[in-house]
Amino acid sequence: MGRVLARELTARTDLPAFDTSAMDGWAVAGAGPWRVRGQVLAGQRAAGALGEGEAVRIATGAAVPEGATAVVRREDGRVEPDADGGTLHAGRPPRPGQDIRPRGQECRAGDLLMAAGRMVTPAIAGLAAAAGYDEVAVVPRPEADVLVLGDELLRSGPPRDGRVRDALGPLLPPWLAALGAGVRQVRTVGDDAEALRRAVTGSTADVVVTTGGTAAGPVDFVHPVLRRIGARLLVDGVAVRPGHPMLLALLPDGRPLVGLPGNPLAAVAGVVTLLVPVLRALAGRPAHPHPEHTARLAEEVPGHRTDTRLVPVASVPEHAGTARPLGFHGPAMLRGLAAADGMAVIPPGGAAAGAVVEVLRLGW
């Protein structure tokens, strides 16, 4: 579940695989009355062929014997007993084919049931089993290594002595899991270029995620390390606030590295705009959900002069389709995000109250 079909799902069998009774009653051949000869239950092999004027008691789901032209429901028939199984009379004559599910009604062997790339839902799992599958091939879940950079980060207790608590170590792994990725390891790496180089080159995950160190500060080592190991920068900064130093690089062996900025809400902006599409693509899904999610803004949101803004919003339960911008949305803050269900995309120049804007869902 939650994985995408790696190959198309084709029926391994006709469905139903045999002409099946849709009701409890009698399978009959031709016009009545009929001589009743024995019974056939679901799961049993079909009884011998019926001749004109013959009937057999039948259960829902049982194979209809050859020669049968219809099923008479139990409530529509009456058996007049005699020494030899009895005679069946129907209130009204059954239509030809009545209450018989013909073989292949739902699909023929080889029919395309589901295209590759579709997310396996409970219904698809059930359909695959009904159509004869014991297993289906899915695109494996992408595995991520998370490298949290910064000497100033504390792992416990309140911030002290100019140091701050690491908010991203606790935030990212469960979010990645909710996004369908596996987290191999979460490592903290001090402000040391060589340690970062070793951590990046030593990772064997499908995607490496770093936090912090993306800017041009004295101990921001992500760029120099990527340069040194020969990575190719595909995205080196984005005109978005917060999050503008985010980056996407290809490591020499072709695996992606997503560099999230250190400011926590800036890192979140990098997750929803860069990491989510990368994880979706690795999982065999379209990079962006379709249709895109939009909402009507309950209030005006001022814009940046040149860049797009991402602002945490919460949907307003009493007004479907409306989202309220939240406060405490500074790049270093998580308080607004904690109450949010998405990040609204505010174009340069801002958006008026009532404007319809795209909302990037958080996916948790």
Q: Residue 264: exposed, middle, or buried by beta-carbon count in 10 A (0-12, 13-18, 19+)?
A: buried
**212: partner contacted, choices ligand MOO, ligand LQZAQKY5, none (Cβ within 5-8 A by kind):** ligand LQZAQKY5
Given the rule CB under 6 A, which residues bind ligand LQZAQKY5? 148, 150, 152-153, 164, 166-168, 211-215, 217, 220, 242, 244-245, 261-264, 266, 331
**Residue 342 makes contact with ligand MOO by CB under 6 A:** no
> Of 142 and 213, which has the nearer Cβ to ligand LQZAQKY5?
213
The total of other beta-carbon atoms located within 10 Å of residue 355's CB is 15
> Of 190 and 286, which has the nearer Cβ to ligand LQZAQKY5?
190
**Residue 241 makes contact with ligand MOO by CB under 6 A:** yes
- Of 49-57, 103-111, 240-248, 350-358, the window that binds ligand MOO (rule: CB under 6 A) is 240-248
- With CB under 6 A as the rule, give the number of residues binding ligand MOO: 9
What Å distances lie between residue 202 and 147, 198, 233, 247, 266, CA to CA?
12, 6, 19, 20, 26
In a 3-state reduction of DSSP, which class is residue 75?
A: helix
Name the residue number minimizing CB distance to ligand LQZAQKY5.
262
And the tokens for 191?
A: 């402000």
Give me the count of residues in the chain: 364
d(CA 343, CA 349): 17
Residue 216 Cβ vs ligand MOO, minimum distance, rounded to whole Å: 13
> Of 169 and 331, which has the nearer Cβ to ligand MOO?
331
**Residue 266 makes contact with ligand MOO by CB under 6 A:** yes
In a 3-state reduction of DSSP, which class is residue 108?
A: coil
**236: partner contacted, choices ligand LQZAQKY5, ligand MOO, none (Cβ within 5-8 A by kind):** none
**215: partner contacted, choices ligand MOO, ligand LQZAQKY5, none (Cβ within 5-8 A by kind):** ligand LQZAQKY5
Whether omega for the bond prior to residue 174 falls within 30 degrees of 0, making it cis, is no
Angle CA 189–192–198, to nearest 5: 65
